[in-house]
Amino acid sequence: MAASHILVVDDEPDIRSMVQEILADEGYQVEIAAGAGAARAALRARRPDLVLLDVWMPDTDGISLLREWSRDGRPPMPVVMMSGHGTIETAVEATRLGAYDFIEKPISLAKLLLTVERALEATRLLQENEGLRRRLPELQEPLGSSRTMTELRSQIERAAQTEACVLFEGEPGTGKQVLARFLHERSPRRERPFVVVSGGALMKPDAARDLFGVEEGGELRYGLIEQAQGGTLYLDEIAALGGELQTRLAAALAARQFTRVGGQDRVPLQARIVSGSSKELAREVAEGRFQEALLYQLRVLPMRVSPLRERPEDIPDLLRHFAESFADRDQLPYRRFTVAAQNRLRQYAWPGNVRELSNLVQRLLILGQGDEVELAEVEAALGPPRADRQKAEGGLMLDLGLPLREAREAFEREYLVHQLKLAGGSVGRLAKAVGLERTHLYRKLRALGVELKDGD
The answer to whether residue 455 is domain-embedded is: no
Q: Which of the listed residues 273, 306, 339 is the one where a domain comes to its end?
A: 306
**Claim to verify: residue 142 and residue 220 sit in the same structural domain:** yes
Q: Residue 141's pLDDT is what? A: 74
State whether 153 and 174 are in the same domain.
yes
Model confidence at 192: pLDDT above 80: yes
Do residues 171 and 230 share a domain? yes
Range of the domain at 439: 389-447
Q: Is residue 37 part of a domain?
A: yes
pLDDT recorded at residue 445: 81
Condensed to tens digits (0 to 9), the pLDDT of residues 83-117 reads 877 667 787 888 888 888 888 888 888 889 999 99
Domain of 34, CATH number, reads: 3.40.50.2300
User: Is 456 a member of any domain?
Assistant: no
For residue 132, what pLDDT is reported?
46
216 — pLDDT class (breaks 50, 70, 90): confident
Report the CATH number that the domain containing residue 229 is assigned in CATH: 3.40.50.300
Contact 354, 308 (CB under 8 A): yes
b/e string for 312-339 if b means 16 or more Cβ within 10 A?
bebbbebbbbbbebbbeeeebeebebee
Q: Residues 433-450: what's their mean pLDDT?
A: 79
Same domain for 247 and 152? yes
Q: Are residues 167 and 300 in the same domain?
A: yes
The CATH number of the domain holding residue 324 is: 1.10.8.60
Q: Are 50 and 114 found together in one domain?
A: yes
Whether residue 325 is predicted with pLDDT greater than 80 in this model: the reply is yes
Q: Does 404 reside within a domain?
A: yes
Any domain includes 68: yes
Confidence of residue 388 (pLDDT cuts 50, 70, 90): very low
Other CB atoms within 10 Å distance of the CB of residue 101: 19
Helix (H) or strand (E) holding 15: helix 13-25
Least confident of 1-15, 82-96, 180-194, 357-371: 82-96
Same domain, 119 and 54: yes
Residue 306, classed as helix, strand or coil, is: coil
Peptide bond just before 333 cis, omega within 30 deg: no
DSSP at 386: P
Whether pLDDT at 1 is above 70: no
- Residue 437 belongs to a domain: yes
Question: How high is the mean pLDDT of the chain?
Answer: 85
Structural domains counted in the chain = 4
Residue 214 lies in a domain: yes
Domain boundary among 306, 340, 355: 306
Tell me: do 416 and 298 sit in the same domain: no
pTM (two decimals): 0.69
Q: In this model, does residue 181 exceed pLDDT 70?
A: yes
- Asked if pLDDT for residue 9 goes beyond 90, the answer is yes
pLDDT at site 86 = 65
Most confident of 52-61, 157-166, 191-200, 366-375: 157-166
Instruction: Give the end of a domain, one of 306, 325, 345.
Output: 306
**Domain assignment present for 154:** yes
CB 282 within 8 A of CB 446: yes
**Residue 411 and residue 321 share a domain:** no
Residues 93, 116, single domain; the answer is: yes
pLDDT surpasses 80 at 55: yes
* pLDDT of 395 over the 60 cut: no
Residue 59 and residue 190 in one domain? no
Shared domain for 146 and 122, answered yes or no, is no
Detail the DSSP E strand segments found in 177-265.
194-197, 214-216, 219-221, 232-235, 257-259
pLDDT at 220: 85
The CATH number covering residue 429 comes to 1.10.10
Tell me which DSSP letter residue 234 carries.
E
Cβ–Cβ under 8 Å, residues 169 and 302: yes
CA atoms within 13 A on the CB side of 298: 28
User: In the beta sheet, which residues pair with residue 257?
Assistant: 268
What percentage of the chain reaches a pLDDT higher than 90? Answer: 47
